[in-house]
Amino acid sequence: MPNGKIDLDAKYADFERDGYVIFENAIEPDLVAEIREELLRVEREQDIGFRDTDFEGKRTVRIYNLLAHGPTFWKIPIHGAALPFAEKVLDPELQVSSVSAITLCPGQGAQPLHADDQLIPVPKPHQPFTLNCVWAISDFTEENGATRLVPGSHKASGMPDYDIEMDTVPGEMPAGSILFWHGSLWHAGGTNRSQDRRFAVANYYCAGFIRQQENQQLGIPLEEARKFPRRLQELCGYSVYRGLYGHVDNRDPIAMLGREDGSKLIWQRGYDEMYEEKTSAG
Among 19, 189, 243, 246, interactor with ligand AKG by CB under 6 A: 189
> In the bound complex, what is the minimum distance in angstroms from residue 128's beta carbon to ligand AKG?
16
**Closer residue to ligand AKG in complex, CB, 1/166:** 166
Give kind and range of the element (H or E) at residue 100.
strand 95-104
**Closer residue to ligand AKG in complex, CB, 82/225:** 82
Categorise residue 37: left if φ over 0, alpha if ψ from -120 to 50, beta otherwise: alpha
> In the bound complex, what is the minimum distance in angstroms from residue 189's beta carbon to ligand AKG?
3
102 near ligand AKG, judged by CB under 6 A: yes
187 near ligand AKG, judged by CB under 6 A: yes
> In the bound complex, what is the minimum distance in angstroms from residue 196's beta carbon to ligand AKG?
15
Instruction: Judge contact between 134 and 201, C-beta under 8 A.
Output: yes
Which of helix, strand or coil describes residue 29?
helix
Q: Residue 33 carries which side chain, given as an amino acid letter?
A: A
Q: Interaction with ligand AKG in 136-155: which residues (CB under 6 A)?
A: 147
φ, ψ at 198 (rounded to 5°): -105, 110
210 near ligand AKG, judged by CB under 6 A: no
> In the bound complex, what is the minimum distance in angstroms from residue 256's beta carbon to ligand AKG?
31
The site for ligand AKG, by CB under 6 A, has a size of 6
Residues 6+ apart with CB under 8 A from 239: 93, 95, 208, 233, 246, 252, 253, 254, 262, 263, 278
> In the bound complex, what is the minimum distance in angstroms from residue 53's beta carbon to ligand AKG?
10
- Count of positions (residues) in the chain: 282
Residue (of 234, 224, 219, 200) closest to 96 by Cα position = 234
**Closer residue to ligand AKG in complex, CB, 147/239:** 147
Q: Which residues bind ligand AKG (CB under 6 A)?
A: 102, 111, 147, 187, 189, 200
